[in-house]
Amino acid sequence: MTVPTGVSPDRPATIHDVAALCGVAASTVSRALSMPERVNFRTRARIEAAAAQLNYVPNAQAKALSSGRTKAVAVLVADITNPFFFDIIRGTQLQLKAAGYTQLLVDTEESDEVEAITLEQLRQTADGVILTAPRLGDEALARAADKLPLVTINRDIPGIPSVVLDTPTATNQALDHLLSLGHERIAFIAGPDGSSSSQRRWAALSAAAQDRGADVTRLGPFAPRTYSGAAAADAAVHSGATACIVFNDLIAIGMLQRLRERGVRVPTDMSIVGCDDIFGADFCSPPLTTVTAPVEQAGRVAVTMLLGKINPGYGVSPRRHSVVPTHLTIRASTGPVPADRP
Amino acid sequence: MTVPTGVSPDRPATIHDVAALCGVAASTVSRALSMPERVNFRTRARIEAAAAQLNYVPNAQAKALSSGRTKAVAVLVADITNPFFFDIIRGTQLQLKAAGYTQLLVDTEESDEVEAITLEQLRQTADGVILTAPRLGDEALARAADKLPLVTINRDIPGIPSVVLDTPTATNQALDHLLSLGHERIAFIAGPDGSSSSQRRWAALSAAAQDRGADVTRLGPFAPRTYSGAAAADAAVHSGATACIVFNDLIAIGMLQRLRERGVRVPTDMSIVGCDDIFGADFCSPPLTTVTAPVEQAGRVAVTMLLGKINPGYGVSPRRHSVVPTHLTIRASTGPVPADRP
DNA sequence: CGAGTTTTGACAACCGATTGCCAAAATGTG
DNA sequence: CACATTTTGGCAATCGGTTGTCAAAACTCG
């Protein structure tokens, strides 16, 4: 039952083994496998048979070395702890695998240092990089981008293709939602100072507030973690706000927990709106009103754009910037303004 | 301000560029960088300076080709959708990066086919593989394992190093917990038939039940997804059980939702015990009593074992099998048996 | 059936590193 | 100062593929 390989029993078969087995040159095997039309179909059939028999798998390193492409794409996320990034990872994984690419996953731990070093290392290891919520400065990113195909997610830099989740629009919907419920003192619980998403949302929100004559205070910054929710909740209560629009669901869920501890009822005493609609937002207590972002889709789109850049003429993807729409999902964490607080 | 490289401005510097810049042979550069003691310290200093100046980064592919090691480890997970695997990924990522390894992430989509093919492909691309909850048969895995360093998580196969989360022990604790609360009709909500975790837990549980003269019924199999919880909940209700020990938190959370829809109160009418203590288990409603498994730690241990196998003498890691203890975390989804149901 | 055209496949250089081998240089010894 | 010993560093082969070049073979057609 053993396969008569004729080579060392254990070592993976090389192109030379295949060539030897059917009595042709190695280059012919290479051609038969990569440019089928350049080789006689009888020869090709023999080669294919031999390859199958020897269980031949091309060596990715060797291929990369001579062709200059690794067929690998790195996905850099700021924090694997955050469920938000899970959805990105899932989306990119799916799409990359479909295209025959390998996914390198790197956690940059919210550090621009790590980000920079990683990009430098990756230059020869990956054919391209997807950068999610990068912390690096515009200039550094632009420099990286012309050494290596790059697509950013949730960060828009001139000249660099990007996928942006249009959360500001939905955040403004959230504002209207809260205003319609009678809230007049609203707090925006900001994310990290370095986060461009947070900045964009605040910009949109404060503009909209002014436009509508509403009072929206900015609190923060807060780290995008559940445990930050406690401090955020306390700050919100102290500010006298009756409703909060929160940077992300992680913080929002932490706030929910803290508010319960403090005996502040949601939404009776305080309304909370999250952002992202991560895993858990629908089954926390109360289920969270939040901005639903098709994060996984953003990951897929980013991959498509990146592959389009890596292989020009691969598909028609002239778009360099993609804005993914989001919407407000109203659940149970928002309600009418408390009666005693007009 | 531009660096006087002397080479083509854009292409990454190679070892030859460095050699040329300081007038030595490429091999000397290689030695200076990898076996510092073999090269005169003056020469070495010059080489290091030149490398820094040229921003030299060794080409990983070339290195892999000649050395035979890629400095990459693949992590195969059955389903990236599942938060359980996030913790694994986080643990492995952390530990791999610390050791200077790259992480290749592959979602096998719960398919033994994909698993098998991936393992075959990876043979030359990764120095080793961590397989989480593999679906492949023992024999196929054993065959893969002697072509490529392999560590499994939650699957114990003779001859293959493994990290196993000791959930059965804690599941039995859960049984005692429920018995002490007066429950007499208990259901085990089983995971997929192919899951060895599910099998081990059921084996331990049914043995313990017999031992204690308790009545535990097995229901299922159910897919490990939130949406399976609906069917599981209905099956549990129909079975007349007053308490359920559930394969994992995903299903348990789904059950919580479905039970609420049906007007079955948890824990008043029905107690639920989950497993894994995933993100969300503490803030769902009611917070889930569950078996807490240090999943991230399991990932780290797996990496340590794997690296020990890849680099013999790397550290002292003679252990081929690691059992990670777990414990029952009692929250609010379990309570006394309903009064009307003795 | 031979000249002209196309197809086919072998050879060899190359990608960027590693490493065994050996000669040149530096050092030590008598 | 000559000789033995140790360092140091260069040459060249190698890893497993890709690809440009070109001769031989197969084909077309008059």
One domain for residues A181 and A233: yes
CA closest to C1' of C19 belongs to B27
CA distances from B39 to A17, A119, B43 (A): 38, 30, 7
Q: In this predicted model, which residue has the larger pLDDT, A110 or A217?
A: A217
CA closest to C1' of D26 belongs to A40
The CA R_g of chain A, rounded to the nearest whole Å, is 26
Residues A124, B65: C-beta atoms closer than 8 Å: no
One domain for residues A275 and A174: yes
Q: Using omega within 30 degrees of 0 as the cis cutoff, is the peptide bond preceding A267 cis?
A: yes
Pair type for strands A162-166 and A321-325: parallel
Distance, Å, A39 CA → D26 C1': 13
The alpha carbon of residue B42 is apart from the nearest alpha carbon of chain A, in Å, by 27
Assigned token pair, A220: 């923060």
Distance (Å, rounded) from C-alpha B275 to C-alpha B272? 10
- Other beta carbons within 10 Å of B320: 14
Distance (Å, rounded) from C-alpha A255 to C-alpha B34? 52
Q: Which of A1, A5, A59, A61 to mutate to test the interface with B (most CBs of B within 10 A)?
A: A61
Please report residues contacting nucleic strand C, using a CB cutoff of 7 A. A 23-28, 31, 37-40, 43, 62, 65-66; B 11-12, 14-16, 26-27, 30-31, 33-34, 56-59, 62-63, 65-67
Phi first, then psi: what are they for B290, rounded to 5°? -155, 165
Q: What is the DSSP string of B90-149?
A: HHHHHHHHHTTPEEEEEE-TT-HHHHHHHHHHHTTT-SEEEEES--S-HHHHHHHHTTS-
Segment A211-228, tens digit of pLDDT: 999 999 999 899 999 999
Strand order in the sheet with B185-189: B215-219, B185-189, B243-246, B271-276, B289-292, B327-329
Residue B248 exposure: Cα atoms within 13 Å on the Cβ side: 24
- Which one-letter DSSP state was computed for residue A314? S
One domain for residues A174 and A263: yes
B98: contact with A, CB 8 A cutoff: no
The CATH number assigned to the domain holding A231 equals 3.40.50.2300
One domain for residues B40 and B88: no
Q: Residue A27 is part of which domain span?
A: 15-56
Q: What is the DSSP string of A215-282?
A: EEEEE----SSTTHHHHHHHHHHHHT-SEEEES-HHHHHHHHHHHHHTT--TTTT-EEEEEE--TTTT
Q: Is A147 among the domain residues?
A: yes
A98: contact with B, CB 8 A cutoff: no
Q: Is B128 among the domain residues?
A: yes
Which residues are paired to B271 by β-bridges? B243
One domain for residues B102 and B243: no
For residue B282, what is the nearest residue in chain A, using CA coordinates? A284
Count structural domains, chain B. 3
- Which one-letter DSSP state was computed for residue B284? B
Query: How far does CA A135 lie from the centroid of its chain?
Result: 14
- Chain A partners within 8 Å of B60 (Cβ): 124-125
- Residues A149-179 as b/e (b if ≥16 CB within 10 A, e otherwise) read bbbbbbbebeebbbbbbbbbbbbbbbbebbb
Residue that is written with structure tokens 């009307």 in the block: B340
The alpha carbon of residue B211 is apart from the nearest alpha carbon of chain A, in Å, by 37
Distance (Å, rounded) from C-alpha A67 to C-alpha A58? 13
Assigned token pair, B165: 């989360």
Tell me the average pLDDT across A5-26.
Answer: 77
One domain for residues B189 and B226: yes
One domain for residues A51 and A84: no
Residue A215 exposure: Cα atoms within 13 Å on the Cβ side: 9
Residues A90, B104: C-beta atoms closer than 8 Å: no
A40: contact with B, CB 8 A cutoff: no
One domain for residues A105 and A252: no
- Chain B partners within 8 Å of A81 (Cβ): 90
Residues B83, A80: C-beta atoms closer than 8 Å: no
For residue B117, what is the nearest residue in chain A, using CA coordinates? A57
In this complex, the nucleotide whose C1' atom is nearest to the CA atom of residue A124 is C16
Assigned token pair, B259: 């039970």
Which residues are paired to A131 by β-bridges? A76, A152
Beta carbons within 8 Å of A1's beta carbon, 6+ residues apart: none
Q: Is A339 among the domain residues?
A: no
Distance (Å, rounded) from C-alpha B258 to C-alpha B270? 12
CA distances from B151 to B48, B142, B309 (A): 37, 11, 9
Assigned token pair, A285: 């207590």
Beta carbons within 8 Å of A88's beta carbon, 6+ residues apart: A75, A77, A132, A153, A295, A296, A298, A299
Beta carbons within 8 Å of B56's beta carbon, 6+ residues apart: B12, B13, B14, B15, B17, B18, B50
For residue B122, what is the nearest residue in chain A, using CA coordinates? A60
One domain for residues B257 and B182: yes
A105: contact with B, CB 8 A cutoff: yes
Of B91, B149, B154, B87, residue with least CA distance to B323: B154
Asked if residue A162 lies in contact with residue A156, where contact means CB atoms within 8 angstroms, the answer is yes
Q: Give the CA dihedral A145, B75, A299, B125, nearest 10 degrees.
A: 50
Q: How confident is the model at residue A35 (pLDDT cuts 50, 70, 90)?
A: confident
For residue B249, what is the nearest residue in chain A, using CA coordinates? A280
What pTM was computed for the model? 0.91
Q: Is A263 among the domain residues?
A: yes
Phi first, then psi: what are they for A123, rounded to 5°? -50, -40
Distance, Å, A20 CA → D25 C1': 21
Strand order in the sheet with A243-246: A215-219, A185-189, A243-246, A271-276, A289-292, A327-329
A27: contact with B, CB 8 A cutoff: no
Residues A105, B89: C-beta atoms closer than 8 Å: yes
Q: Is B173 among the domain residues?
A: yes
Distance (Å, rounded) from C-alpha A150 to C-alpha A105? 15
Residues A57, B106: C-beta atoms closer than 8 Å: no
- Chain A partners within 8 Å of B81 (Cβ): 90
Assigned token pair, A258: 């803290």
From first to last of the 342 residues of chain B, give the pLDDT tens digit: 333 333 345 788 999 999 988 888 898 999 998 888 888 888 888 899 999 999 999 999 999 999 889 999 999 998 888 899 999 999 999 999 999 999 999 999 888 899 999 999 999 999 999 999 888 999 999 999 988 999 999 999 998 999 999 999 999 999 999 999 999 999 999 999 988 999 999 999 999 999 999 999 999 899 999 999 999 999 999 999 999 999 999 999 999 999 999 999 999 999 999 999 999 999 999 999 999 999 999 999 999 999 999 987 655 555 789 999 999 999 999 999 988 754
Q: How confident is the model at residue A329 (pLDDT cuts 50, 70, 90)?
A: very high
For residue A124, what is the nearest residue in chain B, using CA coordinates? B59
Please name the residues between 242 and 261 in chain A that touch chain B, using a CB distance below 8 Å.
Answer: 253, 256-257
CA distances from A4 to A7, B144, B255 (A): 8, 19, 54
Residues A257, B283: C-beta atoms closer than 8 Å: yes
Residues B89, A104: C-beta atoms closer than 8 Å: no
The CATH number assigned to the domain holding B41 equals 1.10.260
Residues A57, B124: C-beta atoms closer than 8 Å: yes
Distance (Å, rounded) from C-alpha B269 to C-alpha B243? 9
A80: contact with B, CB 8 A cutoff: yes
A288 has a pLDDT exceeding 80 = yes
Residue B122 exposure: Cα atoms within 13 Å on the Cβ side: 31
Cα angle B258, B262, B265; round to 5: 85
B117: contact with A, CB 8 A cutoff: no
Which residues are paired to B103 by β-bridges? B73
Q: Is B228 among the domain residues?
A: yes
B94: contact with A, CB 8 A cutoff: yes
Segment A167-199, tens digit of pLDDT: 999 999 999 999 999 999 999 999 999 889 999
What is the model's pLDDT at position A11?
Answer: 81
One domain for residues A286 and A301: no
What is the model's pLDDT at position A313?
Answer: 66
Distance (Å, rounded) from C-alpha B291 to C-alpha B327? 6
One domain for residues B279 and B203: yes
- Other beta carbons within 10 Å of A33: 17
Asked if residue A317 lies in contact with residue A304, where contact means CB atoms within 8 angstroms, the answer is yes
Output the CA torsion sign for B102, B108, B110, B114. Answer: negative
Residues A102, B104: C-beta atoms closer than 8 Å: yes
One domain for residues B75 and B185: no
Tell me the average pLDDT across A265-288.
Answer: 96
Q: What is the DSSP string of B137-184?
A: -HHHHHHHHTTS-EEEES---TTS-EEEEEHHHHHHHHHHHHHHTT--
Q: Is B317 among the domain residues?
A: no
